[in-house]
Structure 1
Amino acid sequence: MNIAYVGPFPFPSSNANSLRVKGMAEALAMAGHGVDICSSVPSQDMGRGMPVEGVRVHSLNEYDEGLLSGVNRGLRGLFIGDITLRWLHSLSTKPDAIVLYGTHLGYLLRLLPFCEKFRIPLFLDVVEWYDPRHLPGGVFGPFAASNELSMRYFATKANGIFVISKYLQLHFERHGCKTLRIPPLFSFESEKSSQFSKVSGVVNLCYVGSPGKKEDMESIFKGLQSAYEKGANFRMHVVGLTADEFAKDFGMQRLPILENEVHVKFYGRLDNVSAKNIISASDFLVVVRKDFRFTKAGFPSKVAESLCLGVPIIGNLSSDLKDYLLDGQNAIVVGGPNADSFSDAVMRAAALNENELSRMRQLASSSADSNFRVRVFSERIANFIATVR
Structure 2
Amino acid sequence: MTGAATWIAYVGPFRFPWGEPGSRRVLGLAQSMAAAGRDVVVVSGESGPTTPVTVSAASGAGTLRHVGAGERPPAGASMVSKAVQLVVRLGERTVRWLDEQPTRPECVVVYGGGAQYMARVGRWCRRNGVALVADVVEWYAPHQMPGGALGPPHLSAKLALRHHYPRCQGIIAISSLLERHYRARGCRVLLVPPTLDVFEVKPGGRAVTTQAGPLDVVYFGTPGRKDLLTPIIRATDAVSRSTPVILSVYGPSAEQVRDLVGGAHLPSSVRVPGRVPQQDVEDIVRNADFSVLVRPSERFTHAGFPTKFVESLACGTPVIANLTSDIGRYLQDGRQGFVCADHSSAELERVLRRAAMLPRPQQEEMREAARATAESSFDYRRYAQPVAGFLDSLRGRR
> When the two structures are superposed, what TM-score results if normalisation uses the length of structure 2?
0.88
Contact 1:310/1:365 (<8 A) preserved: yes
**Of residues 204, 216, 227 in structure 1, which corresponds to 2:239?**
227
Aligned to 1:46: none
For 1:179 and 1:163, how far apart are their aligned partners in 2? Answer: 7
Contact 2:233/2:270 (<8 A) preserved: no
Contact 2:13/2:113 (<8 A) preserved: no
Contact 1:239/1:269 (<8 A) preserved: yes
Contact 2:208/2:360 (<8 A) preserved: no
Instruction: Report the CA distance between 1:294 and its aligned residue.
Output: 1.1
For 1:67-90, what per-residue CA distance to the aligned partner results, in whole angstroms no more than 9, with x for missing partners?
A: x98824245322311111111111
**Residue range with higher mean Cα deviation, 188-197 or 323-332:** 188-197
For 1:256 and 1:110, how far apart are their aligned partners in 2? Answer: 51
For 1:87 and 1:192, how far apart are their aligned partners in 2? Answer: 40
SS in 1 for 2:146: coil
Aligned to 2:393: 387
Contact 1:195/1:278 (<8 A) preserved: no
**1:245 has 2:256 as partner:** yes
| Amino acid in structure 2 at the alignment position of 1:300 | P
**Of residues 349, 354, 357 in structure 1, which corresponds to 2:360?**
354
| Amino acid in structure 2 at the alignment position of 1:215 | D
| Amino acid in structure 2 at the alignment position of 1:57 | H
Instruction: Report the CA distance between 1:250 and its aligned residue.
Output: 4.3
Aligned to 1:368: 374
Aligned to 2:52: none
Instruction: Report the CA distance between 1:368 and its aligned residue.
Output: 1.3
**Residue range with higher mean Cα deviation, 164-173 or 238-247:** 238-247
Instruction: Report the CA distance between 1:356 and its aligned residue.
Output: 1.4
SS in 1 for 2:87: coil
Matches within 5 A, 1:1-389: 1-13=6-18, 15-41=20-46, 51-53=56-58, 54-64=63-73, 71-74=80-83, 76-79=85-88, 80-102=90-112, 104-189=114-199, 190-193=201-204, 200-229=212-241, 231-257=242-268, 263-388=269-394, 389=397
SS in 1 for 2:72: coil
Contact 1:81/1:107 (<8 A) preserved: yes
Among all aligned residue pairs of Structure 1 and Structure 2, give the percentage whose two residues are the same amino acid.
33
| Amino acid in structure 2 at the alignment position of 1:204 | D
For 2:173 and 2:257, how far apart are their aligned partners in 1? Answer: 32
**Residues 1:151 and 1:312: Cα distance change in structure 2 (over 3 Å):** same
For 2:148 and 2:361, how far apart are their aligned partners in 1? Answer: 50
**Residues 1:376 and 1:197: Cα distance change in structure 2 (over 3 Å):** closer
Aligned residues: 375
For 1:180 and 1:271, how far apart are their aligned partners in 2? Answer: 32
Contact 1:4/1:37 (<8 A) preserved: yes
**Residues 1:29 and 1:239: Cα distance change in structure 2 (over 3 Å):** same
SS in 1 for 2:80: coil
| Amino acid in structure 2 at the alignment position of 1:137 | G
**Residues 1:113 and 1:314: Cα distance change in structure 2 (over 3 Å):** same
> When the two structures are superposed, what TM-score results if normalisation uses the length of structure 1?
0.90
For 1:69 and 1:316, how far apart are their aligned partners in 2? Answer: 42
Instruction: Report the CA distance between 1:245 and its aligned residue.
Output: 2.8
Instruction: Report the CA distance between 1:312 and its aligned residue.
Output: 0.8
**Residues 1:196 and 1:210: Cα distance change in structure 2 (over 3 Å):** farther
Instruction: Report the CA distance between 1:244 and its aligned residue.
Output: 2.3
For 1:229-274, what per-residue CA distance to the aligned partner results, in whole angstroms no more than 9, with x for missing partners?
A: 2x121222221122123223443443433xxxxx322222222221
| Amino acid in structure 2 at the alignment position of 1:87 | W
**Residues 1:42 and 1:305: Cα distance change in structure 2 (over 3 Å):** farther
SS in 2 for 1:381: helix
SS in 1 for 2:104: coil
Instruction: Report the CA distance between 1:225 and its aligned residue.
Output: 1.2
Superposed CA RMSD: 2.3
For 1:13-60, what per-residue CA distance to the aligned partner results, in whole angstroms no more than 9, with x for missing partners?
A: 1522011011001111111110100111469xxxxxx84333111013
Q: 5+ unaligned residues in a row in structure 1: which ranges? A: 44-49, 258-262
For 1:194 and 1:361, how far apart are their aligned partners in 2? Answer: 9
Aligned to 1:260: none
For 1:285 and 1:343, how far apart are their aligned partners in 2? Answer: 14
**Residue range with higher mean Cα deviation, 247-256 or 76-85:** 247-256
Instruction: Report the CA distance between 1:120 and its aligned residue.
Output: 0.6
Contact 1:196/1:281 (<8 A) preserved: no
SS in 1 for 2:198: coil
For 1:325-381, what per-residue CA distance to the aligned partner results, in whole angstroms no more than 9, with x for missing partners?
A: 100000111110110000111101100122111010011111112211111111101
| Amino acid in structure 1 at the alignment position of 2:104 | K
Contact 1:29/1:35 (<8 A) preserved: yes
Contact 1:240/1:270 (<8 A) preserved: yes
For 1:76-135, what per-residue CA distance to the aligned partner results, in whole angstroms no more than 9, with x for missing partners?
A: 322311111111111121211110013611121111121111111011111001112322
